[in-house]
Structure 1
Amino acid sequence: MSRRFNALATAALALASVIVSAPANAAEALATWTVASSNFQGLGSHDGTVEAVRQTVVAAQVAGAVVALPVKAGDRVKAGQLLARLDARAAEQQAGAAAAQVEAARAAQQVATLEVQRQRQLFASRFISQAALDQAEAQYKTATAQANAQLAAAQAARTESGYFAVKAPYDGIVTELNVMPGDMAMPGRPLLTLFDPSSLRVAVAVPETSAAKLRDRLASPVNVEIAGQRVTAARWEVLPAADTLTHTVIVRVDLPPGTVATPGSFARAWLPGGAGGDPRTFIPSGALVQRAELKAVYVVGADGRALLRQIRVGPASGDQVEVLTGLKPGERVALDPQAASRRP
């Protein structure tokens, strides 16, 4: 029995010695990467603003008091949906009067038609002269022209009465209301603003000297970061005109369908050609730790301890990823995050 106990004790001591010595061996074998800045010319980070390709300021075409405003800021609307209704009582009365005038003109046209038919029969029987027939023909043509004119006026009145019901030109989201019920709407006065969320883009201003280089790289995809989400855009363009005050050129990056963003919000785009040689920091992609929304690395201190530190990264370039914030030149990061996580 004592021999068996001594054997178990000896095995336990050997196992303990292995566990204690493991961190020391792991510490010696831990590979690190020294952080350094470089003038990498592959991608350049540029701040921009989200824009809507279709953004409309809806205004009234006629004057009238706002009697109904069934939408509010933030509402999604469909094409043809009622956005605002103006007081159309006077316009409806004018449309009714125009319709009555059309009926009167049609009655006069019918009388002129019957009269000219009778005059033609009398002329064929040689009971009236050519002058009498010509007069009947002229009266018929006059009545027909007046009927057509009254019909056109009635259609215009009906069309104008439709202007008092302001409807959405396309599917979109209402961003701003400029009037309230009871306000007086005037032609050209904005009523509300809406945009199409399915078609968005990012506008960034780049130095005029970089525009020529960017035009040669339009086939390259562009990475864009908006509100924590990163998307890749395949289509972008460089506008041909430069701003006379800032001497910058606008670059428009079309966001892929399904991107959720709000016009006017901040965005960052990585354009090819670099950022004019500004120092940038890169680390191997394998050193990055990703846990849900957390992106971090294990920073190895002078004492050999590895501490997890959150960082903010940019787009990957090959087997390296750009570090925007969180690391300083000269610091060391562990190339094997799993081995670093097991260190004391």
Structure 2
Amino acid sequence: MNIRLLSGTLLLTLAAAVRAAPALETAPAQVETVEREQVFDGTVEAVNQTTVSAQTTGRVLQVLYDVDDYVEKGAVIVRLRDTEQRAQVEKAQAALNEARARYQQTKAEFARVKELFDKHLVSKSRYDQAKAERDAALARLQAAEAALDAAREQLERTRIRAPYSGIVTQRHVEVGEVVQPGTPVMTGVSLEKLRVRVAVPQRLINAIRKLRRARVIVQDEDGRTRSIPAERLTFFPYAQGKTNTFDVRVELPENVKGLFPGMFVKVAFVTGQDKRLVIPARAVVYRSEVTGVYVVDDQGRIHFRAIRPGRTTPDGKIVVLAGLKPGERVALDPIKAGALFKARRALREENGHER
């Protein structure tokens, strides 16, 4: 008696849960025109990869960054001893002060002589002499200003700066070493702008060159894949001799997360178009070795159906190679559909036991 009562209560509970369940959102499997793609392996490269060199002579005073350090653009990475350069700046500054004073003197003298010349109180030769002295003093002032700028530039070059933000990959100098103009001090790469280099077979290069569309496929640490559209494709105008492949550079948007120089990725190039049966990717269920969907028929009944999936399209749909027909509707929330499917199955089993 108690068992029957408990069974009846469970049956009523299941029936109520099934009736109260909200309607499932579905979408039809439909044939669409999708881009045909060919996928190849590629290697991530840094667009900016530079070895920074010294531009003046000096002894290394400080090395402020090391390998694997992140450096902001404009940050000082190496300092050279600047005693000589500072002395040259002071000397140039003194020369400039002297030239400026001399110019002011000759300028005032020329103004005085000109006023007398206009009144016919001095000769033309005296006027010309005063004007020449003023012009010569101005030229010396301008030369002194240029010399000070050059000396300051040499002083600034004792502070070697990063040309862009990035990661230090090599360190070439130590404290105490003497460097000359052209001596390498550090090598670094920027992670802000990356590209992928791919070798494309000769038979496909014309189609890829014509359509010029590609995406980089990245697998994240959680196992999920994401697509990054290419900004631009650059084609090398010659084939590699041994492989008869053409190198293609795939330019990526700035500041892409999760990619680093040297990584291997997949690159999908568009080579044409095909008609394919597709469904929304969020409708697909992955159960260990089985991939499937929950199909909802015209009577609202739910069935689990195994499918053979193809590739994922850029707009978030999956190509279905087998297991579905056009027009069949799939549940867009597999978790909710699965729970409802189990509840209805349990209800049917309970009804069978009651009989």
TM-score range, shorter chain: 0.5 to 0.7
Q: Confirm or deny: 8 A CA contact 1:233 1:254 kept in the other structure.
A: no
| In 1: Cα distance, 2:219 partner to 2:199 partner | 16
Amino acid at match of 1:79: K
Q: After superposition, what is the alpha-carbon deviation per residue over 1:24-81, rounded to whole angstroms, capped at 9, x for unaligned?
A: xxxxxxxxxxxxxxxxx94433222111122222111122221111111222222221
C-alpha displacement of 1:222: 4.5
Task: Classify 1:131/1:245 alpha carbon distance in 2 versus 1 (closer, same or farther; 3 Å).
Answer: same
C-alpha displacement of 1:131: 1.0
Query: Which TM-score applies when normalising by structure 2?
Result: 0.64
Q: Which of residues 267, 270, 274 is equivalent to 1:272? A: 270
Structure 1 counterpart of 2:238: 242
C-alpha displacement of 1:145: 0.9
Q: Confirm or deny: 8 A CA contact 1:60 1:187 kept in the other structure.
A: yes
Q: Confirm or deny: 8 A CA contact 1:238 1:249 kept in the other structure.
A: no
Equivalences for residues 116-127 of structure 1 within 5 A:
116-127=110-121
C-alpha displacement of 1:193: 1.9
Q: Which of residues 224, 227, 233 is equivalent to 1:232? A: 227
Task: Classify 1:48/1:165 alpha carbon distance in 2 versus 1 (closer, same or farther; 3 Å).
Answer: same
Structure 1 counterpart of 2:171: 177
Are 2:289 and 1:297 equivalent residues in the alignment?
yes
| In 2: Cα distance, 1:123 partner to 1:272 partner | 84
Structure 2 counterpart of 1:316: 312
Structure 1 counterpart of 2:98: 104
| In 2: Cα distance, 1:220 partner to 1:110 partner | 67
Q: Confirm or deny: 8 A CA contact 1:223 1:315 kept in the other structure.
A: no
Task: Classify 1:87/1:242 alpha carbon distance in 2 versus 1 (closer, same or farther; 3 Å).
Answer: same
Equivalences for residues 52-201 of structure 1 within 5 A:
52-201=46-195
Task: Classify 1:220/1:152 alpha carbon distance in 2 versus 1 (closer, same or farther; 3 Å).
Answer: closer
Q: Which of residues 252, 260, 267 is equivalent to 2:258? A: 260
SS of the equivalent of 1:188 reads coil
Unaligned residue ranges in structure 1 (runs of 5+): 12-40, 275-284, 290-295, 300-312, 322-336, 340-344
Q: Confirm or deny: 8 A CA contact 2:49 2:189 kept in the other structure.
A: yes
Q: After superposition, what is the alpha-carbon deviation per residue over 1:143-190, rounded to whole angstroms, capped at 9, x for unaligned?
A: 111111111111111112111101122222222212222223222232
| In 1: Cα distance, 2:80 partner to 2:107 partner | 42
Q: After superposition, what is the alpha-carbon deviation per residue over 1:70-110, rounded to whole angstroms, capped at 9, x for unaligned?
A: 11122222222111111221111111111111111112112
| In 2: Cα distance, 1:254 partner to 1:226 partner | 20
- Quick check: 155-164 or 209-218, which moved more? 209-218
Equivalences for residues 193-212 of structure 1 within 5 A:
193-212=187-206
Q: After superposition, what is the alpha-carbon deviation per residue over 1:307-341, rounded to whole angstroms, capped at 9, x for unaligned?
A: xxxxxx995363349xxxxxxxxxxxxxxx999xx
| In 1: Cα distance, 2:122 partner to 2:100 partner | 27
Q: Confirm or deny: 8 A CA contact 1:233 1:253 kept in the other structure.
A: no
SS of the equivalent of 1:319 reads strand
| In 2: Cα distance, 1:253 partner to 1:147 partner | 53
Q: Which of residues 223, 226, 229 is equivalent to 2:217? A: 223
Amino acid at match of 1:192: M
| In 2: Cα distance, 1:181 partner to 1:144 partner | 44
C-alpha displacement of 1:225: 4.5
Q: Confirm or deny: 8 A CA contact 2:40 2:200 kept in the other structure.
A: yes
SS of the equivalent of 1:203 reads strand
Task: Classify 1:219/1:48 alpha carbon distance in 2 versus 1 (closer, same or farther; 3 Å).
Answer: closer
How many residue pairs get aligned? The number is 260
Q: Aligned Cα RMSD in Å?
A: 3.3
Amino acid at match of 2:319: D
- Quick check: 100-109 or 192-201, which moved more? 192-201
Amino acid at match of 1:193: T
Unaligned residue ranges in structure 2 (runs of 5+): 8-34, 273-282, 292-308, 322-337, 342-355
C-alpha displacement of 1:255: 3.7
Q: After superposition, what is the alpha-carbon deviation per residue over 1:244-263, rounded to whole angstroms, capped at 9, x for unaligned?
A: 53432222233454322221
Amino acid at match of 2:63: L
Query: Which TM-score applies when normalising by structure 1?
Result: 0.66
Q: Percent identity?
A: 30
Amino acid at match of 1:143: A
Q: Confirm or deny: 8 A CA contact 1:225 1:269 kept in the other structure.
A: no
